[in-house]
Amino acid sequence: MKRSHSFHLVLVAVLLVAGAALLAAACGESDDTTVTTAAVTETTAAATETTTAADGADDSATGTSGNVAFKGLMNLPTTLTAAALEEMTVAEITVDHPKLGPTDYRGVRWTDLCVAFEVQDAATAVTMTASDGYMVELALADIRDSPDAMLTIGEDGKLNVVIPGMEAKSWVKDVVTIEFR
């Protein structure tokens, strides 16, 4: 009986070490991904995974549910995760949703995102794409005219665009790509 118990302990230990090795290998970073820090204000910064064409990445890459690929006319193209968004200057607001009425949101204001990722002055429009393929293009000036426009963090971990004062079709749910044109 004692020998069987020792055998099981050794087997469990071997399986734990093998599992840890596989997990460590699966979590390694690829060569084309770097970690960058983007300042939002003088007192707040967020670590985000950044992929650029200069690193050999595909410029047409999109984010996935819970991540947003920022690209186009900006100096810091970035794929932003919900966790990285939480590290930025997060605001909590209550605004009127065009269909739902007063609703609470938590996220980062659009103006802070534009500063953090250095959107270029030449950008005049924004194309936003959802995970289901829904796409909307808006004038950047229209979004900037809404001081409470933000990228929000849903309870499901998905990222959503909230633009008070604009039609519901402008509020992109589960946004995966934001391209400045």
Residues 97 and 136 in one domain: yes
Q: Which two tokens stand for residue 42?
A: 């003088």
The answer on 88 and 62 residing in a single domain is yes
The pLDDT tens digits for 140-171 are 999 999 999 999 999 899 999 999 999 999 99
Q: Is the pLDDT of residue 67 over 90?
A: yes
Q: Domain range for residue 3?
A: 1-30
CA dist 136 to 13, 31, 172, Å? 53, 33, 8
Same domain, 17 and 67: no
Amino acid at 84: A
Q: Are 9 and 83 contained in the same domain? A: no
Considering the domain architecture, whether residues 151 and 73 belong to the same structural domain is answered as yes
Q: What is the pLDDT of residue 31?
A: 37
- Report the run of H or E that residue 34 belongs to, with start and end: strand 34-39
Q: Are residues 47 and 19 in the same domain?
A: no
Residues 23 and 51 in one domain: no
Mean pLDDT of the chain: 74
Residues 133 and 70 in one domain: yes
Q: Are residues 25 and 43 in the same domain?
A: no
pTM across the whole model: 0.66
Confidence band for 65, pLDDT divided at 50, 70 and 90: confident
Is 24's pLDDT higher than 70? Answer: no
| Span 84-120, pLDDT tens digits | 999 999 999 999 999 999 999 999 999 999 999 999 9
CA distance 141 to 81: 25
Instruction: Assess whether 102 and 23 both reside in one domain.
Output: no
Please count the structural domains in the chain: 2
Share of the chain above pLDDT 70, in %: 66
Same domain, 48 and 133: yes
Q: Give 58-96 as a DSSP string.
A: -TT----TTEEEEEESBSS-EEEEHHHHHTS--EEEEEE
Q: Is the pLDDT assigned to residue 25 strictly greater than 60?
A: no
In terms of domains, do 50 and 12 share one? Answer: no
CATH number of the domain to which 101 belongs: 3.90.420.10
Residue with tokens 């519901």: 168
